[in-house]
Amino acid sequence: MAMNEDCCAMQLIDHNSVFNDAGFNRFAEKVKLADHGLSYAVVAIMGPQSSGKSTLMNHLFHTNFREMDADEGRNQTTKGVWLAKCVGIQPFTIAMDLEGTDGSERGQDDIAFEKQSALFALAISDVVIINMWCHDIGRENASNKPLLRTVFEVMMRIHILYKRTLLFVLRDKTKTPLERLKNKLEEDMHKIWDGVQKPQAHESTLLTDIFNVQVVALPNYESEEEIFKKEVGQLRQRFPRYTSQGGLASDRIPASAFSFSAQDIWNVIKENRDLDLPNHKVMVATVRCKEIAAEKFNQLMQNKDWLAWVEAAKTSPVPGFGEKLTSILNTYLSEYDKEAMYFDEGVRNERKEELQLKALDSVHATYTTMLSKVLEEFKVRLEKSLKEGSFDSSVSASCIVSSVREFDQGCKDATIQNANWDSSSIREKLVCDIDAYALRVHDVKLSELKDKCEKKLSTSLTKQVEAHLEDGRENVWASIRSILHHQTEEAVSTLSTEIVAFNVDNKSIAKMEQDLRACARNVVEKIVRDKTEDQILTLMKHRFEKVLYFDSNNNSRDLRKKKVIKAATEDALSASLKVLSVMAAICLDDGTPNNTEKSLFSSLIDRIKDPLASDTWEGVSLKDTLITPVACKSLWEKFIQEILSVREDSRRHWKRKLAKTLGIVGINIISLALSGIPLYS
């Protein structure tokens, strides 16, 4: 690995063509290669074995590549490809020392590796130094021509991205003027270039289209070391101009991806595939930008502030949610831009968009949940308004308007910049849910109002109707009809007043009023039916007892007088029979004749005729019939039997008198059944 802390020399490709990716990554990290963006250069040197390439690079760039030991002979020193950081030169420059050509160590493999390493150097370098012997210029079979042919041939396998500098360094210069050497070298170069087979796309390409050719000559290092060092120093001063002429273009591979790019290029070259640098550049951009985007996304997902805001928004709307998350997201997007700024623009922007979309997708569900909280807050607000007062459709409408307004503001407040989230479907659902909830509340409250009116009406009717049925006053049904009408209209009036708050249409109001009237009638009918089924005899006996004891002015009767007893008994029987006549049929409709009382008195009291053999009452429908005429007769007989019972120790005279007064013939009257009635003589 490193032989000097400053230059960090390392073997990049070993003698067996294996790429040292781990070593390269350590090298890149140590020299902070990624920090240099596009402002870096790569200089490679190639030439015959033992031509002093490493010596030149060490003096030119202050590296410490291994140099040949003259005492050991002209053996191969550099094996494979070595890399080092150039010290004290701008821009940041990497030097690459290639294994010498035309060596004896590799044998038949020499040509293959020579072409591979040359192609690799041309693909990643801005400046390629061709190290040649000065005395080889112009010689037909000299070693420079195979080297140049190799360079030009492999150059045709590269889809050219930018112009490179080809710097010829002529070693051990002679007395021949440099200009003559340069002209001869260029003449040989053009001959070789013209003789190289080119693809159709480059048939008309000139050598100068792809190379900026520079030529310098240096003295012999061993015999003129001081002069050599001086002229190399001068060349070092000029070198930034060569790198700027040969590279630093905006479409080069960024320094942060140089390690990955170099390894991929070497793999392509080893597999003998065409080296498409433009596509390679896009591939590198795709891989690296994806890695950068993934790294930024992972960092974002671990950001404490981001996580805190997202978690808070799951339970309730967070003021400034969108602005807060936008600020955090933009921080990571800016970091992405900074790290990916030198990669292919199309790829860079595409990966950035994916990063942003992925980040937005991670919080979209939270965004949706937060907006949906508006519905819950609407429910709370509506319930609160209802608790504070009676239901009012205007209050409900106001809650809806404020909730939708709050939703719209919440959308604006919660949306992250550039999210382009379509909240219309959420808004539509929200409005639908709010309307449905408001309607349910409306219906519940309306039902409660209806139930309240019905309950109040039922309570009032039950109390008054039962009182009239039990008192047995004159014209009971007329009084009940009056009560029914009055209480119903009062309930309808209350309903009509309170229902205004519900904003109900006239048709619905009419239906509710109709239902309320029907409810009132049903209540009355039920009261009468229940009394008839369960309490008819009890009511008749209570009525009999009351009239027997008290006169019409509610004064106690003097039952010691026979005349009073006879009148009291007749009145009590008549009153009891009236109770039966009232309970026999429902008469709630005005104008409906009620012949039950007349028929009952005619048959059971006056004994003029017996119309009670029928199953129907004249003028009364079956649905309004509670006790048929036949059943009434049977009930009356049972009533009489229950108020009279046999007691052996009672006075027979009183019994016969009472029996005669009651008009009952053919039965053995023994005793008066009503408890507490004194049997006076």
pLDDT tens per residue, range 544-593: 888 888 888 888 888 777 888 888 888 888 888 888 888 888 888 876 66
Looking at per-residue pLDDT, the higher value among 619 and 537 belongs to 537
The pLDDT value given to residue 197: 84
Q: What are the tens digits of pLDDT across the range 267-308?
A: 988 888 777 777 888 899 999 999 999 999 999 999 999 999
Report the C-alpha dihedral over residues 417, 418, 422, 426, rounded to 10 degrees: -20
Q: In sequence order, what DSSP letters do the residues of 398-430 get, joined into one string?
A: HHHHHHHHHHHHHHHHHPPTT-----HHHHHHH
Res. 353: pLDDT tops 90: yes
If pLDDT is split at 50, 70 and 90, which confidence band does 608 have?
Answer: low
The pLDDT value given to residue 441: 78
Cβ burial of 163 (10 Å; 0-12, 13-18, 19+) is: middle
Q: What are the tens digits of pLDDT across the range 231-250?
A: 999 999 988 887 765 444 44
Q: In sequence order, what DSSP letters do the residues of 216-258 get, joined into one string?
A: EEE--TTTSHHHHHHHHHHHHHHHHHHHHHH---TTSPPGGGH
The pLDDT value given to residue 479: 87
Task: Return the amino acid letter for 395.
Answer: V
Distance CA 349, CA 286 (A): 10
The pLDDT value given to residue 295: 96
If pLDDT is split at 50, 70 and 90, which confidence band does 3 have?
Answer: very low
C-beta contacts of 596-602 below 8 A and 24+ residues apart = 596/620, 596/632, 599/629, 600/632, 600/636, 601/574, 601/577
Task: Return the amino acid letter for 9.
Answer: A
If pLDDT is split at 50, 70 and 90, which confidence band does 347 have?
Answer: very high
If pLDDT is split at 50, 70 and 90, which confidence band does 31 have?
Answer: very high
Q: What are the tens digits of pLDDT across the range 472-521?
A: 667 888 888 888 899 989 888 888 888 887 778 888 888 888 988 999 89
Distance CA 114, CA 96 (A): 14
Contact 617, 595 (CB under 8 A): yes
The pLDDT value given to residue 210: 84
Worst-scoring range by mean pLDDT, 36-40, 371-375, 520-524? 371-375
The pLDDT value given to residue 660: 52
Which DSSP state fits 86? P
Averaged pLDDT for residues 357-385: 80
Residues 6 or more apart in contact with residue 497 via CB below 8 angstroms: none
Average predicted confidence (pLDDT) for the chain: 81
Res. 661: pLDDT tops 50: no
Query: CA nearest 170: which of 192, 138, 195?
Result: 138
Distance CA 8, CA 27 (A): 7
Contact 446, 386 (CB under 8 A): no
The pLDDT value given to residue 679: 32
- Number of CB atoms found within 10 A of residue 347's CB: 20
Res. 406: pLDDT tops 80: no
The pLDDT value given to residue 656: 53
The pLDDT value given to residue 528: 86
Report the C-alpha dihedral over residues 413, 419, 425, 428, rounded to 10 degrees: 20
Q: What are the tens digits of pLDDT across the range 383-400?
A: 776 666 666 667 677 777
The pLDDT value given to residue 272: 81
First to last CA, the chain: 146
The pLDDT value given to residue 664: 40
The pLDDT value given to residue 646: 32
The pLDDT value given to residue 68: 56
Rg (CA), the chain: 59
- Number of CB atoms found within 10 A of residue 34's CB: 15
If pLDDT is split at 50, 70 and 90, which confidence band does 426 have?
Answer: confident
- Number of CB atoms found within 10 A of residue 62's CB: 18
The pLDDT value given to residue 389: 60
Res. 11: pLDDT tops 90: yes
Res. 537: pLDDT tops 60: yes
Share above pLDDT 90 across residues of the chain, in percent, rounded to a whole number: 22
The pLDDT value given to residue 614: 75
Res. 115: pLDDT tops 80: yes
Report the C-alpha dihedral over residues 277, 278, 282, 285, rounded to 10 degrees: 60
Q: What are the tens digits of pLDDT across the range 130-188?
A: 998 888 887 655 556 777 888 888 777 776 667 788 999 999 988 888 899 899 888 88
Looking at per-residue pLDDT, the higher value among 26 and 434 belongs to 26
The pLDDT value given to residue 226: 93
Distance CA 151, CA 211 (A): 11
Averaged pLDDT for residues 56-68: 87
The pLDDT value given to residue 39: 87
Distance CA 611, CA 595 (A): 11
Query: CA nearest 664: which of 610, 605, 579, 600?
Result: 605
Q: What are the tens digits of pLDDT across the range 627-653?
A: 888 888 888 988 888 887 533 333 344
* 91 prior amide bond cis, ω within 30: yes
Looking at per-residue pLDDT, the higher value among 674 and 358 belongs to 358
Worst-scoring range by mean pLDDT, 70-79, 364-373, 495-504, 573-582? 70-79
